[in-house]
Amino acid sequence: MAKLSRRVLLGASAGGLLVMALGSRAAGNRFVAVRIASDRSYTRVSVEADGKLRYKYFMLENPYRLVVDVEDADLNPVLGNMAGKLPANDPYIANIRTAQKDGNTVRIVFDLKRRVLPKVFGLQPEGDVKHRLVVDLYPVAVAAKPGDPIRAFWDSRKPAADAPAVKRDRRPLVMLDPGHGGKDPGAIGRNTRIREKDIALHIARETKKLLEASGYQVLMIRNSDIFIPVPERPVLAQKAKADLFVSIHADSVESSEPRGGGVYVLSQKGASSAAAALLAANENAAGSIGGVNMGGNKDVNQVLMNMVQTQTINDSKRLARFVLNQMSKHNKMKNEVQYAGFGVLRAPDVPAILIETAFLSNPQDEALLNSEAFRRKVAHAIANGVKQYLGVAVLARR
- Interface contacts to Zn ion, rule CB under 5 A: 179, 186, 249
Instruction: Determine contact, residues 130/50, Cβ cutoff 8 Å.
Output: yes
- Cβ closer to Zn ion: 55 or 359? 359
- Cβ closer to Zn ion: 126 or 232? 232
- Cβ closer to Zn ion: 181 or 186? 186
Shortest distance, position 330 Cβ to Zn ion, whole Å: 19
SS3 assignment, position 297: coil
Dist CA 185 CA 392 (whole Å): 36
- Cβ closer to Zn ion: 179 or 262? 179
- The enclosing H or E element of 371 equals none
Shortest distance, position 248 Cβ to Zn ion, whole Å: 9
- CB atoms under 10 Å from CB of 131, counted, come to 18
- Closest listed residue to residue 233, CA positions, set 184, 305, 303: 184
Shortest distance, position 370 Cβ to Zn ion, whole Å: 16
Dist CA 118 CA 79 (whole Å): 20
Sheet containing 31-38: give its strands across.
Answer: 31-38, 43-49, 131-139, 116-123
- Cβ closer to Zn ion: 38 or 361? 361
Closest CB to Zn ion belongs to which residue? 249
Shortest distance, position 354 Cβ to Zn ion, whole Å: 8
- Cβ closer to Zn ion: 249 or 377? 249
**Residue-level length of the chain:** 398
- Cβ closer to Zn ion: 140 or 369? 369
- Closest listed residue to residue 394, CA positions, set 150, 200, 136, 176: 136
Shortest distance, position 201 Cβ to Zn ion, whole Å: 12
SS3 assignment, position 260: coil
**CA angle 58–62–63, rounded 5-degree value:** 80
- Cβ closer to Zn ion: 309 or 361? 361
Shortest distance, position 196 Cβ to Zn ion, whole Å: 5
Shortest distance, position 115 Cβ to Zn ion, whole Å: 39
Between helices 298-327 and 149-157, what is the axis angle to 10°? Answer: 30
Instruction: Determine contact, residues 369/357, Cβ cutoff 8 Å.
Output: yes
Dist CA 230 CA 191 (whole Å): 28
- Cβ closer to Zn ion: 11 or 343? 343
- Cβ closer to Zn ion: 157 or 249? 249
Shortest distance, position 320 Cβ to Zn ion, whole Å: 17
Instruction: Determine contact, residues 299/4, Cβ cutoff 8 Å.
Output: yes
DSSP assigned state of 184 = B
For the chain, helix (H) and strand (E) counts, in that order, are: 9, 16
Shortest distance, position 187 Cβ to Zn ion, whole Å: 6
Shortest distance, position 184 Cβ to Zn ion, whole Å: 9
At a CB cut-off of 8 Å and minimum separation 6, what does 197 contact? 178, 179, 180, 181, 182, 184, 185, 186, 225
Compute the chain's Rg from CA coordinates: 22
Dist CA 5 CA 306 (whole Å): 10
